[in-house]
Structure 1
Amino acid sequence: MFRFFSFALCAAVAPLHILHAEPASSSPPARKQLVVVSFDGAHDNRLWEKSRAIARKTGAHFTYFLSCTFLFDKSQRSTYQAPHQKRGRSNVGFAPDKDDVVTRLGEIWLAHQEGHDIGSHACGHFDGAKWNEADWDAEFSFFRAALRDGWKNAGAAEREPKEWQTFVSNDIKGFRAPYLASGKALADALKKAGFVYDASLVSKGPVVPAQSDGLVRFALPLIPEGASSRPVIAMDYNLYVRHSKGKEDVANGPTYEERTLAAYRAAFDKQLAGERVPLQLGFHFVEMNGGAYWRAMERFLTEVCAKPDVACVSHREAMDILAKEKKAGEAAPEAL
């Protein structure tokens, strides 16, 4: 599975859409500091279990951006036709067998019941920067059908939870583009497909998610990292490329873990003492450099999530919290 994953992430990436951070004020506001952690791909069942255990330990809620080809085994690959690709092709592969799919469907359901946010990472992890609206429509339709018919396709229709269809219809509201590559046609296709937020942007430092094109837009921030404090996207793969040039270096994993944890702490502390803009951190269901980045994430969340002025939330929860804050601010009387 890692071979597929490495190929997918190392392929050419379209230019990223980058937002700019607002300047911080001199004193922190009264609102809580939000920490928003997400996982792209959401395939390895062992890491589903591990991430849910971390959530229980820390009190966090996560967002899982699912790649839908992992709801089909290799014998079913011909059912998938990605835009402008050969039928049955996926940059991240498929599930090894139907038992693996059934386990994954169960993990998705348990995560949903535990308050986590399940979003879409499309299906075969292709660069859609040049896709038109019809291309995205086809990808989103296949994603929705893959979830809707997942239990039946895996030969386990009798195990489908009673509320599964309601969940698929009503609760998949967020999206992150593969490679963070989003073109002009994406926004209209997202709205048509019923999504309410897009987490495909990158920002020069943490920014407050804003309404744009009828969607709430989330951005992974650039954060200072390492002895020279060079900015890097706050995602495990980008750290992996910086630290070991995208090749496994388990021997130096503890060093990379400490560097990553220090970067997370510094980014968090800056926001906690400043504007308290939500801090977003991204991960994948691959433990790169011997699990250095997942270990740093678990240690970081263990430190911060229990603080009384911190909330470790999913994208959906962050969106709702920020909307309530905005509404309350607009309703507050002006100071004399």
Structure 2
Amino acid sequence: MRSARGAALLVVVAVLAAVGFVFLAKDGDDKSTKNNSSKAQAPAAGQDDKSVQAAPPPAGAVTLLGDGSTSTTGVQPNRMPIERLKPGETPPQFVVFSWDGVGEDNQKLFSHFRKVAQESDATMTLFLSGIYVLPASQRAQYQGPNKAVGQSDIGFLDANEVRDTIEQLGLAWKDGHEVGTHFNGHFCGPTGGSSWSAADWVKETEQALKFVQTWRTTTGITDLPALPFDYKKELVGGRAPCLEGQKALLEAAPQMGFRYDSSGPGGRQIWPVKANGIWDMPLQSIPFPGHKFEVLSMDYNVMMNQSRTVKGDPSNHAAWEKQAYESFMGGFNRAYSSNRAPLIIGNHFESWNGGIYMKAVERTMRDACAKEGVRCVSFKQLADWLDAQDPAVLAKLQKLNVAEKADWATFLSPAAPPAVPAQQAPGVPPAVKPAT
């Protein structure tokens, strides 16, 4: 990706800003897979075909949608089993690794982290910038709220990058990863998302949806398989650029079919609650080694508290990488050893300061996801689990403060009923003589 793209976005200096552009650092290998198609079975000989129920489509059967850009292929692979917590059971330690932008270019971080996730038994959330599947030649099809036609603060990918991104999205979904949205043009500041109405967010989301649903038409690519999911159903949450405009976004979220949002300007390591009917799951303040203050759980925010530039002094890279890793793991260990609140980590496919943040998050994924009782999941899977729990159990978890420990053997057990007083035996005076 062009280095100027990163420099332009660093105008946003607020520590809580979360940028959605793509810088990539490592190579990864992939083998594409092809979808299988099948036909419905015909009625058996001698049977009235009106009385015969159609056989369910076999696993992997493909139904193309629209222009063939997307499809339905059945249940997504690698779905997490969902069960209610039982009395005396320790809650799982959930960790959500999420990525903003998710374009694939010649540095191949998208494919690399798919491999890392597979090796770590992790599923992730990929917040796609919709214009990353829209060729630059078709930029006139996009217009952000109150912006010029074709305007984008993160530019557009070239034809090869668009193609590779589409391919990776299909493979990622088959791995079990979620495809959410980072919306489109990444507009921040006074005229960006912070100034948008609920209707503006709906318009922006509808365009992101359309670009995924029509990539075959806009790109002219014919030799890639359809994406193996219906994006209208798959899209259940997102993260706003620069973490701006959540109030209006939450107003629009139910209309857009969202079940969660991760656009809050900064949260704490506690169990999530709902806002306007959807799960509010922001990035979190986590320990920042060597400092009394905490840092938001995202690569950009760690970088802004270290070098404040994507090209800091190389002599500091090793120390900064160690600090980033210890910050992520500090947040993990704090929750893992106490209230078990889900840990939310956000990143970009980037090469800031020589790729040290990618190394730190990879090490975090490999170490944290290997621990007993840990589930590294997508936001969608976490929302599924939360929705399946007893509301009374969730209410107890939500009351736990940051780092507050609980005796899990008794914490979720129902309260013992009050003792029933023994009946007085006939002819036996009461223990306390009534006053006369």
Q: Same fold (TM over 0.5)?
A: yes
2:147 matched to 1:100?
no
2:279 matched to 1:278?
no
Q: Aligned partners of 1:12, 1:83: CA distance in 2, in Å?
A: 23
Q: Aligned partners of 2:373, 2:240: CA distance in 1, in Å?
A: 31
Local SS of the residue matching 1:65: strand
Would the aligned equivalents of 1:221 and 1:280 in 2 still touch at CA under 8 Å? Answer: yes
Partner of 2:41: none
Would the aligned equivalents of 2:16 and 2:296 in 1 still touch at CA under 8 Å? Answer: no
Deviations 1:205-261 (A, max 9, x none): 312121111211101111121312421111000111111112312442221110111
TM superposition outliers: structure 1 runs of 4+ over 6 Å: none
Read off the aligned partner of 1:291 and give its amino acid letter: G
Q: Aligned partners of 2:343, 2:16: CA distance in 1, in Å?
A: 23
Question: How many correspondences in the alignment?
Answer: 322
2:376 matched to 1:304?
no
Would the aligned equivalents of 1:78 and 1:87 in 2 still touch at CA under 8 Å? Answer: yes
Local SS of the residue matching 1:10: coil
Percent identity reads 30
Which has the larger helix fraction? 1
Please report how far the alpha carbon of residue 288 of structure 1 lies from its aligned counterpart in structure 2 after TM superposition: 1.4
Would the aligned equivalents of 2:104 and 2:162 in 1 still touch at CA under 8 Å? Answer: no
Partner of 1:199: 262
Partner of 2:95: 35
Partner of 2:9: 8
Change (3 A) 1:66 1:204: closer
Pick which of 289-298 and 242-251 moved more. 242-251
Partner of 1:19: none
Would the aligned equivalents of 2:288 and 2:327 in 1 still touch at CA under 8 Å? Answer: yes
Please report how far the alpha carbon of residue 158 of structure 1 lies from its aligned counterpart in structure 2 after TM superposition: 5.5
2:195 matched to 1:135?
no
Q: Aligned partners of 1:269, 1:183: CA distance in 2, in Å?
A: 29
Normalised to the residue count of structure 1, the TM-score between the two structures is 0.89
Q: Which runs of 5+ in 2 are unaligned?
A: 18-87, 395-411, 418-436
Would the aligned equivalents of 1:271 and 1:277 in 2 still touch at CA under 8 Å? Answer: yes
Partner of 1:293: 357
Deviations 1:89-144 (A, max 9, x none): 101110112x3212211101111111111100010001311111222122111111
Q: Aligned partners of 2:209, 2:14: CA distance in 1, in Å?
A: 25
- Matched ranges for 1:1-336 at <5 A: 1=1, 2-11=3-12, 30-45=90-105, 46-97=108-159, 99-127=160-188, 128-157=193-222, 159-161=224-226, 164=228, 166-249=229-312, 250-327=314-391, 329=393, 333-336=414-417
Read off the aligned partner of 2:325 and give its amino acid letter: L
Q: Aligned partners of 2:168, 2:306: CA distance in 1, in Å?
A: 31
Q: Aligned partners of 2:392, 2:177: CA distance in 1, in Å?
A: 25
Read off the aligned partner of 1:138 and give its amino acid letter: K
Partner of 1:22: none
Q: Aligned partners of 2:246, 2:178: CA distance in 1, in Å?
A: 24
Read off the aligned partner of 2:214 and give its amino acid letter: D
Q: Aligned partners of 2:166, 2:416: CA distance in 1, in Å?
A: 52
Local SS of the residue matching 1:135: helix
Pick which of 172-181 and 150-159 moved more. 150-159
Which has the larger strand fraction? 1
Please report how far the alpha carbon of residue 334 of structure 1 lies from its aligned counterpart in structure 2 after TM superposition: 3.7
Would the aligned equivalents of 2:16 and 2:242 in 1 still touch at CA under 8 Å? Answer: no
Q: Aligned partners of 2:122, 2:307: CA distance in 1, in Å?
A: 29
Change (3 A) 1:117 1:145: same
Read off the aligned partner of 1:96 and give its amino acid letter: D
Local SS of the residue matching 2:282: strand
Q: Which runs of 5+ in 1 are unaligned?
A: 17-27
Normalised to the residue count of structure 2, the TM-score between the two structures is 0.69
Change (3 A) 1:169 1:224: same
Would the aligned equivalents of 2:103 and 2:162 in 1 still touch at CA under 8 Å? Answer: no
